[in-house]
Structure 1
Amino acid sequence: MKTTSFTSAPQDADARKAIRPVICYPTDTMPRPDLAQYQAVREGLELVNRVVVPPRDAATWEVPAGHFCRIVCSEGSQVGDLNLFNLHNLHERFYSGKTRALCGTHVGVGDQIFSSFPYLRPMATITYDTLDWYGFDDFGGAVHDVIGTRCDPYTHNLLSNGGQYHHCCHSNLTRALAKKAGLSLEEAERHVHDVLNVFMCTGFTRDTGQYFMKASPVRPDDYLEFFAEIDLLGCMSACPGGDCSTVHSSDAAACFPLVVEVLRPKHPPLNWKAPAINGYDRSHGGG
């Protein structure tokens, strides 16, 4: 965070600041999903699996390609930290940084969740969001961010003079993935990655540029829905911060379970097919 300037502003400081920004990654030429076709097959979805994510813990589930997945606020205002993997290859996983660069700091209907290098392809497409009315508030806050990293025991230890807390989202995700994949905790931890903060309301302060959180607007029966573009393994922690209105990494906040529903459409979207992995030849100019 930058709070103090040690240098004097140059004479042309205002002119430098007035230069208009340029979007880093224009997406006009990027293939886009036909959202109308996704919406058309949402009628008559069949529930094929239901998973409860306990408070201050995590759970895993599978979503076959061509199915929908809903993350539901079931009892009280609660934030979830979501990891996504290729079901058949844990090395292909959600890439929050590139998703952020292509879609923005917070994701919503029509945005796609991209996977890591060297695969870089859409893993999922967001098809419905009952919180899409929220937009950006007067503080610059919005929901479903891809800017936070997940609460973790290492940062907790750093900021609390050596405190030990084992139910941070990072640890919850590690335990759940280890159990699902038959890995040791050390092996599983290497695969846990920056998250999609489902239902979390966040932004950056305008004066210091610090990452902030505020009470989530989510209420029971709200949900975020996505379409699986490839076979997915989901892993999500019901954050120990509850609605993240005051603290996280704590047993003090009121926490509630989250529900995950996997739904099968009667038929896939028209002309839909699973995206191929990225076409870059990986030669990196090496001959």
Structure 2
Amino acid sequence: MSTLSEDQGNRSVTAPDGRRLEFRLTGPPGGLPVVFHHGAPSAAVPFGPLERAAADRGLQVLTVSRPGYGASDPLPEQTAPGTVAGAVADTRCVLDELGAEEFLALGWSSGGPRALACGALLPGRCRAVASLAGYAPPRAEGLDPVAGMDEDSAAEFTAARQGRRALEAYLAEQVQAMTAAASAPDGDVVELLRAMLPPVDRAVMTGDFADYVMGAAEHSLRQGIVGWRDDDLAVDRAWGFAVEEIAVPTRIWHGREDRAVPVTHGEWLAAHVPGARAHLLEREGHLSLVARLDRVLDDLLDAAEVDEDGR
């Protein structure tokens, strides 16, 4: 039987296979949960813009750190890196422990495929899905996944496609660069990251959003790169479901200036997820969609036909 425990403000449950699953739950008691599937590298940490927007609408926000991130145990060596669909079983485990029968799924970047998985595999509980700047499936017909990507994103994607060792080497270099920037005189990792971003995303990398990005990166890497590695590898392998199987209302949000996950991924999803409604926005990038969270949640509630009482 799973058990709840506390760890630095977050809680955890023990999954049926014995792994600890760390999660964060905020918002009004009894509110319909929005399960937020984070990007990579990331974990269950405070996300002010989302948590405030959700609370204003009477919603809770539930974030589960994926295996190897934060305080969530990594997958056993014999089953790593797992599949995108594996996030559904972990999500269901936490929801069951909390007694939540229904939920909304919201995924950002590499969390997008995990949100879509909930729509495909938990149609009786997941009322609607929103994918923000999310990936299309690997080897999607007619899609060049790296066309339009910035140099760093393309290098990470290509390393994952080359296999575990190549990806481990690439991620180790990235962590080393961040560590060096943080330890240098007047070191500022935020400024290092901002310098790599297009102007539309650089503009939002400030204040509590920058705090979220940095806090998520720091917490997610407390066990090293194992979570990040398995996350990337799973996105580029068979997901464990087909997007054509999604039978719940789905919204696809993507910025046309996204250089981390190009808008062609969003276009592909919009064309292949049954009944999906697309919001492909001009002058928006990979991070700047955070400024649209109010709109995203309103659209998600509309898709799920949730009334003013959260039902």
State if a TM-score over 0.5 links the two structures.
no
The structure with the largest strand share of the pair is 1
TM range (shorter): under 0.3
Determine which structure has more spread, i.e. the larger CA radius of gyration. Answer: 1
- TM (norm. structure 1) is 0.28
The structure with the largest helix share of the pair is 2
